[in-house]
Amino acid sequence: MEQRFEGRTALVTGSTSGIGAEVARALAAEGALVVVSGRRAELGAAVVAKIEAEGGRAVFVPADLSAGGAAVRELADATLAAVGGRLDILVNNAALLLQPRPTGEVDEETLDAAYAISVKSAFQLTGALVPAMAERGDGVVVNMGSISGSIGMGGSALYSMTKAAVHSLTKSWAAEYGPRGVRVNAVAPGPTATEGQADNAHLIAPLLATAPDRRMGRLEEVAAAVVFLAGDGATHIHGAILPVDGGLAAV
Ligand SMILES: NC(=O)c1ccc[n+]([C@@H]2O[C@H](COP(=O)([O-])OP(=O)(O)OC[C@H]3O[C@@H](n4cnc5c(N)ncnc54)[C@H](OP(=O)(O)O)[C@@H]3O)[C@@H](O)[C@H]2O)c1
């Protein structure tokens, strides 16, 4: 098997389940030492065990990204300790997934939590980890965006707002860190077959009916895009928002 990340290290936030867990597996399958993170320690341990069973290397570092800057700093420090002081790849994937709700019915607690988990923690984690990459002159950040960050969807204003912020940060960080050797890009999945989407078929079906590919994405299709952007096949790609949505946002 190709080992394009041999000798490299990665942190994938929100990798106890879903897309993040698959991204962690895919990076580890190609040789990276991966830090798996999230709140649910049992699931984190299961992701690590699966990676190890497949011959990869991973460690679980717990973190609650709703808990503010000190918790984010702790994750950054524990990550650096787990990988021997050098992080090569940061995947900002954790997010608060929200069921569609009219704007007037979104309470302040949910509004603050969505911002804290999906935007603020990625901002602070990047601020904590990426300057060292820039000083060194190499590193990669891949943010998890969404088609919701680019197109309007009724009832999804809050989630869309957080994802539009992630898309914006991707371009701002490309401008900020790119000249010092750190590539920053994002993947923007469409509806992807995670456990969390299992009950949303009735909401997703009308969307998929308009998409060229007419189906949900698979976890490994999103992970493959992250692996591509993190790898040396993407060395001239900065500030891109790569859709992995079966063409949904394009038509
Ligand atoms: N599934 C889709 O259709 C789809 C489409 C477009 C974009 N996305 C994006 O893909 C990413 C992954 O989503 P997913 O669908 O794979 O959902 P998921 O399975 O629910 O994964 C969300 C991850 O975020 C972590 N997380 C949530 N709150 C956290 C907190 N307070 N502190 C630390 N970690 C936290 C969760 O870990 P713990 O619960 O263990 O903390 C979990 O690992 C998100 O950025 C999402 O917006 C998903």
pLDDT digits (tens, 9 = 90+) for 139-174: 999 999 999 999 999 999 999 999 999 999 999 999
pLDDT of residue 137: 98
Nearest-CA neighbor of 226 among 166, 145, 148, 124? 145
Structure tokens at 37: 């993170």
pLDDT of residue 201: 87
* Mean pLDDT for the stretch of residues 215-223: 98
CATH 3.40.50.300, domain 9-241, yes or no: no
pLDDT confidence band for 1 (50 / 70 / 90)? low
| pLDDT at 102 exceeding the cut of 60 | yes
* Residue 11 contacts residue 37 (beta carbons within 8 Å): yes
Catalytic residue among 159, 160, 162, 177: 159
Residue of 90, 194, 222 with the most ligand 1 atoms within 8 Å of its CB, for mutation: 194
Kindly report the number of other CB atoms within 10 A of residue 200's CB atom: 15
pLDDT of residue 199: 87
Structure tokens at 244: 């992995």
Is the pTM higher than 0.95? The answer reads: yes
| pLDDT at 2 exceeding the cut of 70 | no
Minimum-distance ligand 1 atom for the alpha carbon of 19: 16
From 48-57, 202-211, 216-225, the region with the lowest mean pLDDT: 202-211
Cα of 136 vs centre of ligand 1, distance in Å, is 30
Answer whether 95 contacts ligand 1 (Cβ < 6 A).
yes
Instruction: Write out pLDDT tens, residues 164-204.
Output: 999 999 999 999 999 999 999 999 999 999 999 988 888 89
pLDDT of residue 29: 98
Torsion, Cα 74 108 165 172, to 10 degrees, reads: -60
Cα of 13 vs centre of ligand 1, distance in Å, is 9
Answer whether 150 contacts ligand 1 (Cβ < 6 A).
no
Q: Is 115 a catalytic residue?
A: no
